[in-house]
Amino acid sequence: MRIACFVSPHGMGHAARTAAILGALHDRHPDLETDLYTLVPAHFFAESRIGPFTYHALRTDLGMVQKNPLEEDVAATVAELDRFLPFDEARVAPLANALRARGCRAVLCDIAPLGLAVASRAGIPSVLIENFTWDWIYAGYTHQDARLQPFVEQMRAAFAQADHHLQTAPVCLPASSAFQAGVVSRRPRTPRGEIRLHLGLPPNTQLVLLTGSLIGAQSPALARLREASECTFLLVGGQAPAHRSGNTIILPTTSEYYHPDLVHACDLVVGKLGYSTLAEVYHAGVPFAYLTRPQFPESQKLEAFVRQEMPCLHVIHDELASGRWVEALPKALHLPRRPHSTPNGADTIAEWLLARVLR
């Protein structure tokens, strides 16, 4: 069985969700092979063990241009969209021919609109997987820049091409015609105790994981971390090689550790409120100290879900950068774990795909 996947490179949430679904599909159908179209690095999917895949480096989506991890550049997004859209025949037809030649039975798209256009041209069933779509996101910025409005319409038409529609919790704009699945996350592979032992931690050490380069090497916050000697802080997103300084362990973005394993091994996660981080923390049941993206429309929906379903604490970016958030550590570390018995949405979606699309 061969399928194609077109994955948005906007952040890592779309790639992580796709990887979780492909892993669940491969568990059930070991002969599954995937043609993967994205700019997310191939090693991310390889370490996620999605099964055999052929990687095609291709810009499948634009999303939003970022000034930094928490702030969008609307004017630059408009300029890039003007170059990226619409999809012309010269771009779509060769991809459609390639998918037909390779015998792809379906095209999965994690909000990458190019894949839906290619599937339509190839006559291959397409599946849109999302918890938001770009027309909804762009509509939230039209008050800042009215030039986004035509792209809202173009994206709405692009997503309407999907033959099948799947939504994953937490959903931003529920669609009555879509199949609804739970939170999708990659699974851990290594027991909590084994990870902590490998990190050189005593059994009762409180481990705090900071994701996504939230604190730089020269940040004053590092000095504040060292004052909290009762904790060990694990920072992911630093420069290679991995190193330790006092009660701080700094790992590069790509390391020997699988990120879901680190989440399950810790006592508190501090991170930006994005889909993959939320999903991994949710299924681990550990407390979440989160930073919002104030302007991004998805952020409000995710925050509402976190406040209702997860032990959590809101952290202000300035407090993180200065290190003042360390004063809230005792409160955050005393939040109770909240394990969830709900099924991983990746399993639900894999079963649905095999029954409805990949029969």
The Cα diameter of the chain in Å comes to 61
Tokens linked to 38: 């994205």
CATH superfamily, domain 2-184+344-356, is Glycogen Phosphorylase B; (3.40.50.2000)
Among residues of the chain, what percentage have pLDDT more than 90? 80
CATH code for 192-333? 3.40.50.2000
pLDDT for 322: 83
> Whole-angstrom Cα distance, residue 71 to residue 76?
12
- From the number of C-beta atoms within 10 Å of its C-beta (0-12, 13-18, 19+), residue 30 rates as exposed
Q: How confident is the model at residue 245 (pLDDT cuts 50, 70, 90)?
A: confident
> Whole-angstrom Cα distance, residue 235 to residue 225?
11
Cβ-Cβ contacts under 8 Å for 64 (sequence gap 6 or more): 10, 72, 73, 74, 77, 137, 296
Q: Where are the beta strands (DSSP E) in the chain?
A: 2-7, 33-38, 53-57, 66-68, 71-72, 107-110, 126-130, 164-168, 179-181, 206-210, 231-238, 243-245, 248-252, 268-272, 288-291, 312-314
Tell me the pLDDT tens digit for each residue of 64-74: 999 887 889 99
Tokens linked to 155: 């994206």
- From the number of C-beta atoms within 10 Å of its C-beta (0-12, 13-18, 19+), residue 39 rates as middle
Mean pLDDT to the nearest integer, 263-286: 96
CB contact burial 222-245 (16+ within 10 A = b; e otherwise): bebbeebeebbbbbbbbeeeeeee
Q: Considering only 97-111, 213-227, 299-313, which range has the smallest mean pLDDT?
A: 213-227
Tokens linked to 297: 């429309």
Mean pLDDT to the nearest integer, 290-310: 95
Higher pLDDT, 223 or 220: 223
Gyration radius (Cα) of the chain, Å: 21
Q: How confident is the model at residue 340 (pLDDT cuts 50, 70, 90)?
A: confident
pLDDT for 216: 65
Q: Is the pTM of this model over 0.85?
A: yes
Q: Where are the beta strands (DSSP E) in 16-97?
A: 33-38, 53-57, 66-68, 71-72
pLDDT for 237: 78
Q: What distances in angstroms separate CA 203 from CA 188, 198, 209, 225, 338, one per listed residue?
A: 19, 11, 16, 20, 21
Q: In CATH terms, are 2-184+344-356 and 192-333 the same topology?
A: yes
Mean pLDDT to the nearest integer, 33-53: 97
Contact of 13 with 115, CB cutoff 8 Å: no
The residue among 50, 47, 73, 51 whose CA lies nearest residue 62 is 73
Mean pLDDT to the nearest integer, 315-321: 86
Q: How confident is the model at residue 344 (pLDDT cuts 50, 70, 90)?
A: very high
pLDDT for 294: 85
The answer, yes or no, to whether residue 205 has pLDDT greater than 80, is yes
Tokens linked to 250: 């700094």
Phi, psi angle pair for 234, to nearest 5°:
-115, 110
Domain boundaries, the chain: 2-184+344-356, 192-333
Tell me the pLDDT tens digit for each residue of 139-193: 999 999 999 999 999 999 999 999 999 999 999 999 999 999 999 999 999 999 9
Tokens linked to 229: 């000697």
